[in-house]
Structure 1
Amino acid sequence: MKSKFALLFLALTISLLAQNNNRDKANDDIYSSRQTIITKTVKEVSPAVVGINVTELREYRDARSFDPIWRFWFGDQLDRVYQQQIKGLGSGAIISDDGYILTNDHVAGNAVTATVTLTDGRKYDAKIVGSDPTSDICLLKIEAKNLPYIKFGNSDDLMIGEWTIAFGNPFGLFDINDKPTVTVGVISNTNMTLSPSSNRYYVNMLQTDAAINPGNSGGPLVNAIGELIGMNTIIAQSQDATKYGLNIGSIGVGFAIPVNKIKRIVEELKNKGKVDRDFWTGLNIITVDENFAKTYNLFTNRGVIINQLTKDSPADRAGLKVEDIIVSLDGNKINNYETFLSYIFEHRTGDTVDVTFIRGEKEMTKKMKLEKTK
């Protein structure tokens, strides 16, 4: 009898152990299913994301100085210039183990002071190595060593629909627990050239539906394997929000500066502290639109028309003439004066540009070498 009970007890024990093992295996399977390429990449990249807090100094004059009645009574007394400290915030990415940090010019380019917070809680005063308002790229440096950093990827081989992960400091949330906010989306489009804003020119931007909100500017956009493919920069706003001056956050249309452009700008900022666009073309141009084309019976209703051209200038030597209508630069379509500037500012002194234009009813292409401003 005792042996029967012993066998029964042993069988029950084995059964319970088997159930526990099955439960443990099921739990392990569930846990493993939670670990995706996205969660692994987030864990790897997060330590290289920083929060940035800046102070800017803005100058302004008394609004009454523009009123003729006040000026009549008080004259030059109203011309006094006042200074005001403005605080701002944004995001950044560590791009080298010795403390170089990438962010937007509109985040830190005009900063009097800049404080960088790491994910381990350490705070550093950052200096501006260089900033380029035209491309909206700024390079900071902190005095630290052996830092985690994000590796550069390649923005030229991106596929529409591939995963994107956006990191940043929306609304200053980084300050709560020294951790970046993470959102996930896909590459929605590439080579998006946007309208200039505050003399910043956004060419060949990446579009993503990963949520990007105020404070995300300067933060990294990475692919599924953790490579930097862009820098979060702009969010689209609805027409109503723009009309009433509202900022309602992400509506699923965000734009990032592509990393291949960033690589070039970063090297220039490291070496010179600025981007040298000290070249000239000798062109004076105006936008061609539908009304302009109808008025002058032109062959095209887009582009820019040359209304003045300096003799012996790069444009003159290239064979361009007054009344030529420029419709593309290096194969990039020119719609107006702003897009012309956007693409010409992608170049540097000494570059050769393929200029496609319409003369009469004939389309032609000439090579124009950009020369240093005289």
Structure 2
Amino acid sequence: GYIVTNYHVVGDADTVKVTLYNGDSYDAQYIGGDEDYDIAVIKIEATDLPNVTLGNSDSLNVGDHVLAIGNPLGELTFSMSEGIASSVNRAIDVDGTPFNMIQVTAAINPGNSGGPLFNEYGEVVGIVSAKYSSYASQSVEGLGFAIPINDVAAMIQDIMTNGYVSNKAYLGITPGTMNEQMAAQYRYDVTKGVFIYSVEDGSAADKAGLKMGDVIMKIDGTDVDSYQELVALKKKYSAGDESTFTIYRDGKQQEVSVTWGAVPADQATDNNSQSQQSQNNNSNSNNGSYNGGNGYYSNPWDIFNYYFGNQG
């Protein structure tokens, strides 16, 4: 009875109902989710349910045939669209949050969010999550995106067991994007990186000796030029992993060894209440227009439909 969808589809819903292909309807229990990865798990009490087979998204290649199932516009139930994988490792920004995505040409519309992306063998290789309908002042077509299943499969199991992603990497800082104005104000020699506004007592950052006023410039040799890049890079780590941070402090660069902590359970799905909240949310803007399933009926996993009680 476990069903996977996007966090943005069910995260703010008061009630969730699941309708099967045969018309049977069930009240669903929200098990948990993670906003950073836009995944969520719900559960219905039923037997003899159909299920899907998870594939290997790492084996998907550009040009491979893909299929998406969804409920576009909230009324075209159980629609399938086809296309190819345009890119298998595309970095995009959705409402200020960076994601690694599979880019596809299959038609994706509001209501497809949370639905499966199948490979040519009928295995789920992604969770349909977003599309671009415009960029700046230009209209665009054929730019749909799905979360690679390999990126989140272990997290889905974690949510099923614990109700949240228990090993999600956590620093315990209040970060912001370093810029030229800040550099002039604080008389720093660097204009890029992640400025630390505060450090949470007892956190991984605190234990590693990071301080307010430090600027994170690299993590394990990878440049970190902005808060958004820190968020994206953090997704590659789990609690307990060790990293070498290159920081700017007192006019010079130095290296600090950091052991990533775990996100506290009460903060696991609420980014705005975490100490990792950005103090500089406007440093990077998203020029794309995002269309997901929030506000529409959505077909999230194989042949299931979600209907939101708080939306009539």
TM-score (norm 1): 0.59
1:119 Cα deviation from its structure 2 partner: 2.9
Match of 1:222 among 115, 118, 141: 118
Residue 121 (str. 1) matches residue 23 (str. 2): yes
1:253 Cα deviation from its structure 2 partner: 1.4
1:257 Cα deviation from its structure 2 partner: 1.4
Contact 1:166 1:232 in 2 (8 A): yes
| Offset from partner CA, 1:1-25 (integer Å, 9 cap, x none) | xxxxxxxxxxxxxxxxxxxxxxxxx
Residue 350 (str. 1) matches residue 246 (str. 2): no
Contact 2:4 2:40 in 1 (8 A): yes
Aligned to 2:80: 181
What's the Cα RMSD here?
3.5
Structure with larger RCO (C-alpha < 8 A, sep 6+): 2
Percent identity, please. 35
C-alpha change, 1:117 and 1:174, in structure 2 (3 Å) is: farther
Partners of 1:292 and 1:191 in 2: how far apart?
Answer: 31
1:168 Cα deviation from its structure 2 partner: 0.9
Residue 336 (str. 1) matches residue 213 (str. 2): no
What secondary structure sits across from 1:204 in the alignment? strand
Contact 2:85 2:102 in 1 (8 A): no
Contact 1:115 1:123 in 2 (8 A): yes
C-alpha change, 1:185 and 1:297, in structure 2 (3 Å) is: farther
Contact 1:194 1:202 in 2 (8 A): yes
Partners of 1:172 and 1:311 in 2: how far apart?
Answer: 46
Aligned to 1:10: none
**Which moved further from structure 2: 355-364 or 185-194?**
355-364
Partners of 1:294 and 1:163 in 2: how far apart?
Answer: 51
Match of 1:252 among 132, 135, 142: 142
Match of 1:271 among 161, 164, 174: 161
Match of 1:212 among 104, 108, 126: 108
Partners of 1:193 and 1:331 in 2: how far apart?
Answer: 22
What does residue range 69-84 of structure 1 map to in structure 2 within 5 Å? Answer: none
Residue 164 (str. 1) matches residue 63 (str. 2): no
C-alpha change, 1:183 and 1:303, in structure 2 (3 Å) is: same
1:108 Cα deviation from its structure 2 partner: 1.8
Contact 1:116 1:125 in 2 (8 A): yes
C-alpha change, 1:373 and 1:230, in structure 2 (3 Å) is: closer
Partners of 1:220 and 1:373 in 2: how far apart?
Answer: 28
What does residue range 1-374 of structure 1 map to in structure 2 within 5 Å? Answer: 99-175=1-77, 179-197=78-96, 201-239=97-135, 251-276=141-166, 281-293=171-183, 300-309=190-199, 314-318=204-208, 320=210, 324-330=214-220, 333-344=223-234, 347-358=237-248, 365-371=255-261
C-alpha change, 1:326 and 1:213, in structure 2 (3 Å) is: same
1:255 Cα deviation from its structure 2 partner: 1.8
Aligned to 2:283: none
One-letter code aligned to 2:171: T
C-alpha change, 1:113 and 1:307, in structure 2 (3 Å) is: closer
One-letter code aligned to 2:195: I
C-alpha change, 1:295 and 1:109, in structure 2 (3 Å) is: closer
Partners of 1:256 and 1:311 in 2: how far apart?
Answer: 37
Partners of 2:95 and 2:220 in 1: how far apart?
Answer: 19
What secondary structure sits across from 2:58 in the alignment? coil
| Offset from partner CA, 1:11-67 (integer Å, 9 cap, x none) | xxxxxxxxxxxxxxxxxxxxxxxxxxxxxxxxxxxxxxxxxxxxxxxxxxxxxxxxx
**Which moved further from structure 2: 205-214 or 331-340?**
331-340
1:100 Cα deviation from its structure 2 partner: 1.9
Contact 1:276 1:348 in 2 (8 A): no
Partners of 1:224 and 1:278 in 2: how far apart?
Answer: 32
Contact 1:236 1:254 in 2 (8 A): yes
Contact 2:102 2:126 in 1 (8 A): yes
What secondary structure sits across from 1:140 in the alignment? strand
What secondary structure sits across from 1:286 in the alignment? strand
Aligned to 1:24: none
C-alpha change, 1:354 and 1:195, in structure 2 (3 Å) is: farther
- For structure 2, which runs of at least 5 residues remain unmatched after alignment? 265-312
Partners of 1:241 and 1:143 in 2: how far apart?
Answer: 47
Partners of 2:119 and 2:144 in 1: how far apart?
Answer: 15
One-letter code aligned to 1:231: I
Partners of 2:12 and 2:5 in 1: how far apart?
Answer: 12
One-letter code aligned to 2:51: Y
Contact 2:104 2:144 in 1 (8 A): yes
C-alpha change, 1:253 and 1:354, in structure 2 (3 Å) is: farther
1:195 Cα deviation from its structure 2 partner: 4.5
Contact 1:168 1:217 in 2 (8 A): yes
Partners of 1:306 and 1:339 in 2: how far apart?
Answer: 14
C-alpha change, 1:109 and 1:306, in structure 2 (3 Å) is: closer
Contact 1:309 1:322 in 2 (8 A): yes
Aligned to 1:56: none
